[in-house]
Amino acid sequence: MTGMELLKQQFNGHVAFRERRPGVVQVLAPLFHEDGDMVDIFLDETGDGSNRVRISDHGMTLMRLTYHDNLDTENKVRIFNRILVENRIAEQDGRLFLDAELGALYPAILQFAQTVAKVSSMQFFRREAIQSLFYEQLAEFIEERSPRSARAPACCRSRTMTNTRWTTSWTRVRARCTCSA
């Protein structure tokens, strides 16, 4: 049984292969990104006559990531590299890859797809998402450290912020307050 036949059996027949060029086969498997697009997985012959194959994305994961965000800060690069190291995936010239034995191709493809999903989720580390969390944490910090007399009544605290931006001053909040506090 060849590696492709074994892989088809392990996916219960829910996988197809498409030759993209000599030595490169695309795996069409039911593995999807959050937006519903299929995860791009390619099998490259190693060319050394061994029983190994290189599982690769041919740079598609980082290309998709740049639609939303770039690896433009040291922190993002550090997180990206940590994801790769923790999942034993290598990167070269923007291409993610994993070398695997033909007999262990199924778990290697699943490991690779999971890593691609983790890297793709880095778009949620965008500045806007982090910024909104910052404003929430800032409001909590101020609330915890301000003297009791300067705090808005409990019924009015949620009115002090709208869409994570300060919109009213404490005096205006108190002026609109209808509670007895």
Question: Residue 74 above 90 pLDDT?
Answer: no
Position 13 scores a pLDDT of: 81
Q: Provide the 3-class DSSP secondary structure of residue 121.
A: helix
Tens-digit pLDDT profile for residues 163-173: 444 444 444 44
Read off φ and ψ for residue 111, nearest 5 degrees: -60, -45
In terms of pLDDT, which residue wins out, 117 or 47?
117
Which DSSP symbol is given to 146? Answer: S
Tens-digit pLDDT profile for residues 149-161: 555 555 555 544 4
In terms of pLDDT, which residue wins out, 57 or 134?
57
Domain boundaries, the chain: 3-125, 127-176
Average pLDDT in the 104-124 region? 87
Report the CATH number of the 3-125 domain: 3.30.1460
Question: Residue 102 above 50 pLDDT?
Answer: yes
CA distance 94 to 3: 27
The total of other beta-carbon atoms located within 10 Å of residue 95's CB is 17
Of the ranges 12-21, 46-55, 145-154, which one carries the lowest mean pLDDT score? 145-154
